[in-house]
Amino acid sequence: MASAAKAAVEAVQDGVKKLAVKEGSTNVLERRLFFIPSFKIYGSVAGFYDFGPPGCAIKQNVTQLWRQHFILEESMLEVECPAVTPEAVLKASGHVDRFTDFMVTDAKTGDCHRADHLLKAALEALLEDPKAGLMPEKKSEAEDVLARIDELDGPGLGAALTKYGVKAPETKNDISAPFPFNLMFKTSIGPKGDTVGYLRPETAQGIFVNFKDLLYYNGGKLPFAAAQIGQSYRNEISPRAGLLRVREFTQAEIEHFVNPDDKDHPKFASVQDVTPLLFSCALQTNEAKRPEAMSLGDAVAQKIIANQTLAYFIGRTYLFLVGIGIASERLRFRQHLPNEMAHYAEDCWDAEVECSYGWVECVGLADRSAYDLRAHSAASKTPLEAYEKFAEPRYEQVLVAKPNKAAIGKQFKKEGKPLQESLDALTQEDAACIKKSFDEGKPATVSAGGRDFEVTPALLDIKQEEQKLSGRKFTPSVIEPSFGIGRIIYCMFEHAYYARESNEDKSVFRFKAAVAPLKAAVFPLVQQPELNATARSISAALTRAGLANTVDTTGTTIGKRYARTDELGVPYDITVDRTTIDGDGSVTLRERDTTAQVRVHQDAVAELVQQLVTGAVTWQMVLDTHPAQQPAAEDNT
């Protein structure tokens, strides 16, 4: 799971972090309750955050936009599975054995640190220190270790930490040898406490285990995609960087199941001209080490991206992230280097977004081949396969396996039943493995009903025969885009944040209207019953139009009220004044970023805001068609 982006997040210089925390967006984010440390009155627990009212609304909006952009657009099958997952599932997926990071502890305080992060920080400091006076060969040796950190196992990390004399940060105490730490939260299921479970570390497994039923639901046809939005849990060794590395977070994951022999995508043409910054393996390892803008059509044609389906999702991810307000020039797609990828993966790219913590992985996009379905199929003894009907019958050599029922019954008695069932359902891949053993003169081991059986040719006859085939069974490949909603939202906060040029103390979030927590705020200019009543009826009209809004009757200066809503990223403010009551019935409508104001009739304002929010009307069109209002009150705070 380690990646360069992860390291980039963690290895950020303290100075940069403090800057982000002290000034600018982070300060506003916590003060205005976008998100706050959980359990604050009890001293908080690292790695857990609550979303307050505006944060909650934004998260709902982003999730809803994600659902629209991916699930509805692609007719995906959405599922919702439990977070508590039995051990067998996560054993099969490899998480029980391998979902680990290497940890070291401070010899005196017992504080825990991630071994690779300490090594990386130490090597970077060494390479950047002009006083270190490294000889060229020592320098290139350190650079080499730095580049290969992700490949190091426990002993390798331990040797490197010792060689470079790495101590615990801050205390400078000695550290222990690295040891693996599983990131899953373990729990027990049921009152007896004897069934082990874990809080899921990703939502994907729920989709894999439901593959058979989902395929049936889809009429047995491929390709199809299933999606799940939900909480995931990782007991991160050292959670930090606000929402970027937490212990409970929302993931939105897609598993797109496809025929491994045909990974073209029917809608690829719709994204082939999308031109994101691509940071391919070749660009990461050349001299310049810079990403380049390239159309997805070219990237597939030049085989930089492995196939159309993976490129299609890179394109859709780009459009989604830019659509919700991520700056396109601060978004890049970085290809995994061969040493970063799991052995079964065909190609992986991370959508990385630049923020004050460096380049951060927000979305992982991977062609995971047939690994996950095969793993669950083998462990559950449930074939997770699809069927492809050939256009014309084919004549092919196939392995035909015939279990010898009588011999199995005689040798294993009742216990032979699951073995018999398992042999009846052998896939071509399994049959080939067994035949290989037989050809080498060895028995094959077959697991069934929770035990291993030694299977000999006397129990199973396997022959190669030419058969007329009208179709074939196969294990689909899966292409997985995996989104971390919290990381995306945090980066979006930073990209949306600015201070007004006229007054540096005035913070603004230029959220896209669809993302903004409230679409409008309604102000009576002064506290008068008639003005308050009109403001409330406009608010009711906004609510009827489905627009989240607020009424501020505090009577503080209008400039202060504008500043408050700007800080929440509210795109439109509506002010009711005496002209509304005594004059032509108009109110002022102010746009957040230009601060320009027009006069609109009170009965028309809700519909106009709705058109602005949906994009049916632009602010420029409003300026062109409505009388301007001089914003006398704007700076008059």
User: What φ, ψ does residue 188 adopt, rounded to 5°?
Assistant: -125, 150
386 part of the interface to ligand ATP, by CB under 6 A: no
Q: Does residue 534 touch ligand ATP according to CB under 6 A?
A: no
For the CB of residue 228, give the shortest distance to ligand ATP in the complex, in Å: 13
Tokens of 329: 């020039």
Measured at the alpha carbon of residue 282, what is the angle toward residues 149 and 295, in degrees to the nearest 5? Answer: 125
Among the listed residues 161, 164, 196, the one whose alpha carbon sits nearest the alpha carbon of residue 178: 161
* Token digits of residue 2: 């380690």
User: For residue 609, which amino acid is it?
Assistant: V
Closest to ligand ATP by CB, 156 vs 230, is 230
Closest CB to ligand ATP among residues 178, 486: 486
Considering only residues 205, 482, 610, 629, which one is a binding residue for ligand ATP as defined by CB under 6 A?
482
Report the candidate in 412, 635, 366 with the shortest Cα–Cα distance to residue 506. Answer: 635
Taking the complex as a whole, how short is the minimal distance between the CB of residue 239 and ligand ATP, in angstroms? 7
Strand partners of residue 249:
232
Distance of closest approach, residue 237 Cβ to ligand ATP, in angstroms: 10
CA distance 146 to 471: 50
Number of C-beta neighbours around residue 458 at 10 A: 11
Contact indicator for 239, 245 with CB cutoff of 8 Å = yes
Decide if residue 291 touches ligand ATP (CB under 6 A).
Answer: no
Determine the straight-line distance between the first and last CA of the chain, rounded to whole angstroms: 51
Regarding beta strands 507-509 and 460-474, do their DSSP bridges make them parallel or antiparallel, or are they unpaired?
Answer: unpaired
418 binds ligand ATP (CB under 6 A): no
> What is the closest distance, in whole angstroms, from the C-beta atom of residue 249 to ligand ATP in the complex?
4
Residue 342 makes contact with ligand ATP by CB under 6 A: no
- Identify which of residues 315 and 364 has a Cβ nearer to ligand ATP in the complex: 364
Q: CB of residue 117 vs ligand ATP: minimum separation in angstroms?
A: 11
Dihedral of CA atoms 144, 147, 151, 155 in degrees, nearest 10, equals 50
Which of 332/590 has CB closer to ligand ATP? 332
Taking the least distance from each CB to ligand ATP, the nearer of 1 and 617 is: 1
Sign, CA dihedral 467-470-473-479, equals: positive
Nearest distance from C-beta of residue 270 to ligand ATP, angstroms: 24
The residues near 542 (Cβ < 8 Å, ≥ 6 apart) are 519, 520, 522, 549, 606, 609, 610
**Cβ nearer to ligand ATP, comparing 315 with 571:** 315
Q: Is 224 in the site for ligand ATP (CB under 6 A)?
A: no
According to DSSP, the β-strands at 549-551 and 520-524 are: parallel
**CA pair distance 449, 328, nearest whole angstrom:** 53
- For ligand ATP, give the closer residue by CB, 32 or 200: 200
Closest to ligand ATP by CB, 277 or 563: 277
Q: Please report whether residue 93 would count as binding ligand ATP according to CB under 6 A.
A: no
The residue among 206 and 418 lying less far from ligand ATP, judged by its C-beta, is 206
Report the residue number, 319 or 398, with the smaller CB distance to ligand ATP.
319
Nearer to ligand ATP, 32 or 334 (CB): 334
In eight-state DSSP terms, residue 242 is: G
Q: In whole angstroms, how close is the CB of 199 to ligand ATP at the nearest point?
A: 13
Q: Report, in Å, the least distance between residue 245 CB and ligand ATP.
A: 5
Residues 225-254 that bind ligand ATP (CB under 6 A): 234, 236, 245-246, 249, 251
- Comparing CB distances to ligand ATP, the nearer of 202 and 354 is 202
Q: Does 487 bind ligand ATP (CB under 6 A)?
A: yes
CB of 201 to ligand ATP, least distance (A): 8
Binding residues for ligand ATP, how many (CB under 6 A)?
20
Shortest distance, CB of residue 476 to ligand ATP, whole angstroms? 20
State the minimum distance, in angstroms, from the CB of residue 358 to ligand ATP: 12
Least distance (Å) from ligand ATP to the CB of residue 495? 16
Please tell me whether residue 200 binds ligand ATP under the rule CB under 6 A. Answer: no
**What amino acid occupies position 500?**
R
The count of C-alpha atoms lying within 13 angstroms of the C-alpha of 234, restricted to the half-sphere facing its C-beta, is 21
DSSP 106: B
Nearer to ligand ATP, 353 or 401 (CB): 353
Closest CA to 350 of 368, 367, 331, 364: 364
95 binds ligand ATP per the rule CB under 6 A: no
Nearer to ligand ATP, 74 or 350 (CB): 350
Pairing of strands 597-601, 460-474: unpaired
Query: Residue holding tokens 């205005």?
Result: 32
Q: How far is it, in rounded angstroms, from Cα 567 to Cα 372?
A: 45
315 lies in the binding site for ligand ATP (CB under 6 A): no
- Residue 423 vs 485, nearer CB to ligand ATP: 485
User: 234 or 561, CB closer to ligand ATP?
Assistant: 234
Which residue's entry shows tokens 């007329």? 468
- 105 strand-pairing partners: 112
Residue 167 CB, nearest approach to ligand ATP (Å): 25
Residue 155: count of CB within 10 angstroms of its CB: 10
What is the 3-class SS of 573-590, one letter each residue?
A: EEEECHHHHHCCCEEEEE
Distance in Å, CB of 363 to ligand ATP, minimum:
5
Task: Examine residue 484 and tell whether it contacts ligand ATP (CB under 6 A).
Answer: yes
Which of 291, 481, 486, 571: binder of ligand ATP (CB under 6 A)? 486
Find the shortest distance in angstroms from Cβ 348 to ligand ATP.
Answer: 9
Residue 36's alpha-carbon distances to 29, 152, 243, 490, in angstroms, are 8, 36, 10, 13
* CB-based contact 164:122 (threshold 8 Å): yes
Provide the minimum distance between the beta carbon of 243 and ligand ATP in the complex, in angstroms, as a whole number: 7
Interaction of residue 491 with ligand ATP, rule CB under 6 A: no
Nearest CA-CA partner of 372 in 236, 478, 490, 500: 478
Q: Are 363 and 484 in contact (CB under 8 A)?
A: yes
Piece in contact with ligand ATP (CB under 6 A), picked from 209-217, 337-345, 480-488, 575-583: 480-488
Cα torsion 216, 221, 225, 227 to 10°: value is: -10
The interface mask with ligand ATP, positions 156-185, x = CB under 6 A, is: ------------------------------
Using rule CB under 6 A, residue 265 touches ligand ATP: no
> How far apart, in whole angstroms, are the C-alpha atoms of residue 625 and residue 597?
12
Q: Which residue is nearest to ligand ATP (CB)?
A: 484
DSSP secondary structure code for residue 517 in this structure: S
351-370 binders of ligand ATP (CB under 6 A): 361-364
Write out the residues near ligand ATP by the rule CB under 6 A: 1-3, 5-6, 202, 234, 236, 245-246, 249, 251, 361-364, 482, 484, 486-487
